[in-house]
Amino acid sequence: MTPTTLAPLDRDDLRERIAAALAQFLAGRAEALAGIGPELEPVAGTIRDFVLDGGKRLRPAFGYWGWRGAGGQVADDAAIVRAMGALELVQACALMHDDVMDGSATRRGAPSVHERFAATHRASGWDGPPAGFGRAAAILLGDLALVWADEMLGWAGLAEAALVRARPAYDDMRTEVMAGQYLDVLAQAQPTISTERALAVARYKSAKYTIERPLHIGALLHGCDAELLDTYSAYGLPLGEAFQLRDDVLGVFGDPEVTGKPAGDDLREGKRTALVAVTLERGSPAAVQVVRRLLGDHSLDAAGVDRLRAIIEETGARAVVEALITERTEQAIAALGAGPVHAEAADVLTQLADIVTSRRH
Amino acid sequence: MTPTTLAPLDRDDLRERIAAALAQFLAGRAEALAGIGPELEPVAGTIRDFVLDGGKRLRPAFGYWGWRGAGGQVADDAAIVRAMGALELVQACALMHDDVMDGSATRRGAPSVHERFAATHRASGWDGPPAGFGRAAAILLGDLALVWADEMLGWAGLAEAALVRARPAYDDMRTEVMAGQYLDVLAQAQPTISTERALAVARYKSAKYTIERPLHIGALLHGCDAELLDTYSAYGLPLGEAFQLRDDVLGVFGDPEVTGKPAGDDLREGKRTALVAVTLERGSPAAVQVVRRLLGDHSLDAAGVDRLRAIIEETGARAVVEALITERTEQAIAALGAGPVHAEAADVLTQLADIVTSRRH
């Protein structure tokens, strides 16, 4: 991904300022943990590294531009930038717990949190199974990130009235992402998946969580009318689906050098994505049989991955999903143009629509 | 445990009213989940059953009497009763995640949450390992309980200013319980444990979380001076340590019929409690060797459990811990009498000190 592509995310140094706010907030939390016991240094350190070493800061960006689109002025944006760091901490919890649930060894090209703690356990020659220790640590670090998210929102310096306005959207966002994750886990466990069902999972796990709710939270923190919220939904929901569909395509066809995940990892994990659902709906009985046999095979080799990829191409599923991505992205951009979003924000949100759906990682 | 013993917990129908508030709040959450998808019914249902089918409501009771002790009047207590249900939801998260971390098959005499979802997976003949599905579900249900706790606090109908006053104590409580859990997991993984270290774990995992912080939260929700908070700390910290020490003794010597946990479960899990630490400090080299060999052996049979129990008795460790429990309980009660706690609350908190340290489950 070239720097140019990310320019809207870096506008007004947004990503840098969010990272600085996270660093400042987490330094305070690390101090609190150190007061409890020096053994907690790796806990604070790992959360800090996890949050600061990666991430495109998409959710804070949507939250920030949701606020600007409601009339927030760049001159007054210090508190909103700080507050939006909270969304990165919710996401840190979701990712840490997701990696435990999926048994993923890597995240953003580095060992996942449970792997890091398992490695410490192994290297220290401690008692009991290293994997169990790693899992326990990652569950607790995720819990901490989740509760720290709330604290960061309160710490940011926004008016109490603004927090009260935005709190219901923030609460809904948290319930929706957990519910969406559960639907996803359930879909992986069940032998059949329809495209409709896969898109419903995407709606809760990604569309509402990553785009619609951050926009609503930003707008409500500023203060806004119902029409703006509706516009953000009409933009956020199709765009969020397109975002998840792009993720599904990258999980199968992405370049490991860029995604930070092994090639074909989603296939080995047996993810029942919309891409897989469309493949099963369009494939010949023979192709469907191969997909059912290979999908979720954790020992799948490069040839197996290539075979599945070929089927996904040949059935036209990849093309269908690409068409869905384009259609939903256009729908999102059109909805934005029709609503009462302040011009500069509308411009950036239009660019963000392209970024999140044409990204390579 | 006879009903008489629990009388202070049931005073003014407190436990019943907290359960009713939880039922009402959780019905709303179940509706929200049903709106996302009918597949989420078991998620809402399991959280509801977990929260309503058991628990002594200790944390809400301390929160409530913390509020009464600060001057809260029984005639105005509807909102505080509702708000204290939040503490049960934080605890539900802690227990669900704890059972995943410990791999505990039972909780309160029934299958743990991850076991319930694993059983559904097995019975439905779904794809993938049932244990992995159960773990994922329990992680997500715990996350939901944690975020719903905040919502319940906001939903209770307390004044915004009261919530702002109590929020830092609530935040600290959440960080402390997660940190305490991590220290506990770490202690289980490390070959040595000192009594001092075991008591430090108990302080964060139990004393602050179960007693001191709920008292502070209740008092701050009412409004109070620093002297009352100090009194609650001087009462809550030693009492909370005694509470955890009682838990340690019950984990080894408790009656499975009453505790709802298999006999000697803590020994099989290899818990490095203060009771174990004192045993190791006082035991002969031969006894220490036996403890080191048998502790944490998941296949330990009844004879092995009896052997460990005998060593814990013979070294005098059980008596030492019982003496610590008595000493700390008396210290707590004395501190209470010396502080500015309203009389009726002081009376109930004195009774609660006896309940939590002489309980049988």
Q: Would an 8 Å CB–CB cutoff place B290 in contact with chain A?
A: no
Separation of alpha carbons B265 and B108, rounded Å: 13
Residues 300-359 of B with CB under 8 A from A: none
Angstroms from B7 CA to nearest CA on chain A: 34
Is residue A315 very low, low, confident or very high in pLDDT (cuts 50, 70, 90)? very high
User: Cβ contact (<8 Å) for B136 and A101?
Assistant: yes
User: Cβ contact (<8 Å) for A32 and B175?
Assistant: yes
Q: Would an 8 Å CB–CB cutoff place A163 in contact with chain B?
A: no
Q: What is the dihedral of CA A244, A18, A352, A71, to 10 degrees?
A: 120
Q: Are A280 and A311 in contact (CB under 8 A)?
A: no
Looking at chain A, the whole-number percentage of residues with pLDDT higher than 90 is: 81
Could you read off the pLDDT tens digit of each residue along chain B, which spans 361 residues? Answer: 333 467 888 888 999 999 999 999 999 999 999 999 999 999 999 999 999 987 889 999 999 999 999 999 999 999 999 999 999 999 999 999 999 998 889 888 899 999 999 999 999 999 889 999 999 999 999 999 999 999 999 999 999 999 999 999 999 999 999 999 999 999 988 877 889 889 989 999 899 999 999 999 999 999 999 999 999 999 999 999 999 999 999 999 998 887 777 778 889 888 889 999 999 999 999 999 999 999 988 899 999 999 999 999 999 999 999 999 999 999 999 999 999 999 999 999 999 999 999 876 6
Identify which of B126, B144, B182 has the shortest CB distance to residue A175: B144
- Burial of B2 by CB count in 10 Å (0-12 exposed, 13-18 middle, 19+ buried)? exposed
Angstroms from A319 CA to nearest CA on chain B: 28
Chain B residues whose CB is inside 8 A of the A127 CB are 188-191, 270, 296
DSSP letter at A288 equals H
Identify which of B33, B180, B189 has the shortest CB distance to residue A128: B189
Q: SS3 for B361? A: coil
Q: Would an 8 Å CB–CB cutoff place B179 in contact with chain A?
A: yes
pLDDT exceeds 70 at position A3: no
Give the model confidence (pLDDT) of A88-100 as tens digits. 999 999 999 999 9
User: Cβ contact (<8 Å) for A147 and B178?
Assistant: yes
CA A203-A141-B115 angle, 5° bins: 70
Q: Are A173 and A208 in contact (CB under 8 A)?
A: yes
**Range B119-129 burial, b when 16+ CB lie within 10 A, else e:** ebbeeeebbbe
Tell how far CA B271 is from the center of its chain. 16
DSSP H stretches of helix in A125-273: 130-155, 160-189, 195-202, 213-222, 226-253, 256-259, 265-268
Phi and psi angles of residue B40, each rounded to the nearest 5 degrees, phi first: -90, 0
Identify which of B143, B151, B179 has the shortest CB distance to residue A33: B179
Phi and psi angles of residue A58, each rounded to the nearest 5 degrees, phi first: -65, -45
Separation of alpha carbons B172 and A307, rounded Å: 52
Q: SS3 for B295? A: coil
Q: Are B223 and A162 in contact (CB under 8 A)?
A: no
Chain B residues whose CB is inside 8 A of the A148 CB are 175
Separation of alpha carbons A178 and B148, rounded Å: 11
- The structure tokens 């920030």 sit at A64
